[in-house]
Amino acid sequence: MTTYTFTLIVDGPEITEERVIDALFEAGCADALFGRRDLVQFADFDREAPDLATAIVSAIDQVESVAGMRIMRVEPEDLVSASAIAARTGRSRESVRLLIEGKRGPGGFPAPIAWVDAKTRLWHWTDVANWFMEALGQRVTDLDDAQLLAALNAGLETRNRVAALEHGSHRAAVVHVVGHRTALATALAKAR
């Protein structure tokens, strides 16, 4: 067994209340530290499991078995800024800026997927990690684990957003797109 470290961002009852912590421990979360940063509740896990997927899914199931608890996302997050890229790759912010601008390295750095403001751009960590491996031969993360985190967060985001839709036709549209047989069959075929 390997120990996996990750954080679940949690919505629900006050996670620092004794009764909630007791319920979480009874649910099997003795390997977690619970708290809050500003208004965000979290559960930091160091979980032994045969693989990362088993560790995270079991933690999600245990936390959500406590009345009112809902997992919002798993960290480390897939969306990263240039500063986060620098931290995750062990490079300086300037080194990353030069790679992004193509002034260092082979060029072809992934395009950002969003701009928070005029100066702050965001990338998918999986795209960046893949570029570091292919373009620089530098393995900065387990790419399969990074893809798992991205997919889990996409699933959690979809689940949480669909639950908030008021119109049945809106929910049906999302379910159709996410569960489209052709897309699902293609994804499953690639996995085999």
How far apart, in whole angstroms, are the C-alpha atoms of residue 83 and residue 122?
Answer: 10
The domain defined by 1-75 carries CATH number 2.60.40: no
Segments of the chain with pLDDT less than 50:
none
Phi, psi at residue 35, to the nearest 5°?
Answer: -175, -165
How far apart, in whole angstroms, are the C-alpha atoms of residue 72 and residue 152?
Answer: 10
Domain boundaries, the chain: 1-75, 79-141, 143-192
How far apart, in whole angstroms, are the C-alpha atoms of residue 105 and residue 135?
Answer: 8
Q: Is the pTM of this model over 0.85?
A: no
Return the pLDDT at 179: 73
Return the pLDDT at 23: 97
pLDDT tens digits, 131-153: 999 999 999 988 899 999 999 99
Return the pLDDT at 13: 96
How far apart, in whole angstroms, are the C-alpha atoms of residue 112 and residue 90?
Answer: 20
112-120: long-range contacts (C-beta < 8 A, 24 or more apart)? 113/79, 114/79, 116/81, 120/81
Q: Which residues contact 125 (CB under 8 A, 6 or more apart)?
A: 76, 77, 78, 79, 80, 84, 85, 88, 141, 146, 150
Residue with structure tokens 């996996």? 4
